[in-house]
Amino acid sequence: FVTDSQGFCIYSNPRCQEKWGLQPGEPLSSQWERTIHSEDQSRILADWTAYLQGNNGFSAEFRTHTGNENTYWVQMYAAPMFSEQGTPLGHVGTCEDITERKLAEAAQSQIIQEQAARREAEAANRMKDEFLAVLSHELRTPLNSMLGWSRLLRSKKFDEATTARALETIERNAATQAQLIEDILDVSQIIRGKLRLNLCPISLASVVEAAITSMRPTADAKAINLKFEVDGSETEIDHQQWMVYGDPVRLQQVVWNLLSNAIKFTSDGGQVQVRLSHVQGGHPDDYSSFKLQSSDSRCAQVTVTDTGKGISPEFLPYVFDRFRQADSTTTRAHSGLGLGLAIVRHLVELQGGRVQADSPGDDQGATFTIRLPLVNGDRTRATEEIVLPSSHALTSSLLTPSTTETLREHPALLTSRKILIVDDEPDTRDFLAFLLRQYGAIAVVVSSASEALAVFESVRPDLVISDISMPEQDGYSLIQQLRSLESGADIPAIALTANSREHDRDQALAAGFHVYLAKPVQEAELVSAIVQMLERRGVEARG
């Protein structure tokens, strides 16, 4: 086609007339508006206008449609024409039907996308298979020790030292298995976007101190030098200088995970250093979702540095990915599911922070760095009463042997207190009854909600401990029926269940339970909860 300087067609060949209906004497732009696909029209007309103003040549690919609404692809070229004196004469151009090429490109692109999706699916399946293999191994390994030692204890008489060793091994492996299950549940909540936090101002220094205290025995067992340094603190730590806005339990979980990894991957006699410092937090946009940061974006920074195995450059970019491990073979030297660091990253980012990993390479140690925005000073002072929680307020993992010992020294706290235990698992009932009787309580055990309702009026318990998932009638129904009774309207009630999701906790509290505890429960945690509930109700211990 050829147009004059005003854009009116002065020539078009038969093919162009067939495709566009462009006839001599018609303006080119008006034909475009009728034939260019609506999704391409604004772009092409804008490009054509720019071409007319710049005289630099025009090239474009776009969709058009004919009168019968068939859509096809066109590649169009156009260039300006000038007289010998440089006067604009008009434009000359060509249009080529490239529909077949575009369809072939789309088909090829679809094939490439399908191949990429297939590769991703195959990689995901391999990762899933590897994870399931590791999961099976990690769950079976502690079972081997627990079952082995428990069978030996039943079949033979051992001296006191051997018995203590056996019990310690059983307890340690049970704790390992419980941690594996907790990690799996955390990742499940993360994937579904159901992980929720209980945020409040808290001293990051106190969280780090608590995590170090809980991990120091593990470090000592490997003769690892576990050091803790705080910038600007020669003696006592000023906790008000380290206030962040976060979930105390989850923050301790983050630091505990990093310390646990550092100790696990550091050889005997090595060193793990934890350092707490103040740094500039970078550009404020990095923390746009965080509402209580200080005006100068200063952050509290925790670095955990070890002299251990290190991280290869190839694996470093994937160190925080779920289900990824540097070594998932059957010959790997270290146990674990490869979930801990993925959980760390998610928890830190949920609390407005950032985490990164650095390592020079294999066998050269690693450094993990956490940054969390400091809380504005005014908000810190306004909530000062909740910034330094006691040890048992952080997490059950902070319940030390001394806590249990204190309870054992005061058995009168539960003497003659009637506690109704409702659980369909015989072993759980037996354990809870035996445990509470050690503290002087009168334990009444039943296996179902209906049995609990049948004996409630005659027993008149001071407190109820109930499972949630039970045949025929669950714990929710039980507590609701108890609350409908005059004698059960304000009875202290604890939900003790293996259902450990945040939703399960909320549902238990909404149904009428005062306290929610997840299985497996620690002795000190359960007894402390019972004592506190009885004290709040005004029941004085009799001894």
pLDDT tens for 295-345 read: 457 899 999 999 998 999 988 888 888 666 555 443 234 445 567 788 888
pTM across the whole model: 0.51
Note the pLDDT of residue 289.
Answer: 37
Percentage of residues in the chain with pLDDT exceeding 70? 78
| Mean pLDDT, range 192-212, rounded to an integer | 84
Note the pLDDT of residue 192.
Answer: 66
Note the pLDDT of residue 540.
Answer: 41
Q: Which one has a higher pLDDT value, 348 or 195?
A: 348
| Mean pLDDT, range 9-26, rounded to an integer | 75
Two structure tokens written together for 470: 């039970």
pLDDT interval class at 213 (50, 70, 90): confident
Q: What is the CATH number of domain 200-398?
A: 3.30.565.10
CATH topology of domain 2-97: Beta-Lactamase (3.30.450)
Q: How far apart are CA 193 and CA 501, in angstroms?
A: 12
Q: Which one has a higher pLDDT value, 175 or 235?
A: 175
User: 226 pairs with which residues across the strands?
Assistant: 272
pLDDT tens for 312-326 read: 998 888 888 866 655
Contact 239, 209 (CB under 8 A): no
Q: Classify residue 266 by burial, with Cβ atoms within 10 Å: 0-12, 13-18, 19+.
A: buried
Which of 261-275, 350-364, 391-405, 458-472 shows the lowest per-residue confidence on average (mean pLDDT)? Answer: 391-405
DSSP 361-415: STTS-EEEEEEEEBBPHHHHHHTGGGSS--HHHH-GGG--HHHHHHHHT-GGGTT
Percentage of residues in the chain with pLDDT exceeding 90? 26
Note the pLDDT of residue 337.
Answer: 57
Q: What is the CATH number of domain 401-537?
A: 3.40.50.2300
Query: Which has the closest alpha carbon to 293: 210, 208, 354?
Result: 354
| Residue ranges covered by each domain of the chain | 2-97, 103-192, 200-398, 401-537
Q: How far apart are CA 349 and CA 374, in angstroms?
A: 14
pLDDT tens for 99-145 read: 999 999 989 999 999 998 898 888 777 767 666 666 666 677 677 77
pLDDT interval class at 458 (50, 70, 90): very high
Which residue in the block uniquely carries the two structure tokens 């238990």?
Answer: 508
Q: How far apart are CA 479 and CA 469, in angstroms?
A: 13
pLDDT at residue 464 greater than cutoff 60:
yes
Contact 170, 149 (CB under 8 A): yes
pLDDT tens for 24-61 read: 766 666 666 677 888 888 888 888 888 878 767 889 99
Q: How far apart are CA 7 and CA 47, in angstroms?
A: 15
pLDDT tens for 368-424 read: 999 999 986 544 433 333 333 333 333 333 333 444 454 555 555 688 899 999 998
Q: Which one has a higher pLDDT value, 283 or 234?
A: 234
Mean pLDDT of the chain: 79
Note the pLDDT of residue 353.
Answer: 92
Note the pLDDT of residue 153.
Answer: 87
Class of domain 103-192: mainly alpha
pLDDT interval class at 22 (50, 70, 90): low
| Mean pLDDT, range 444-468, rounded to an integer | 94
Query: Which has the closest alpha carbon to 265: 338, 337, 363?
Result: 363
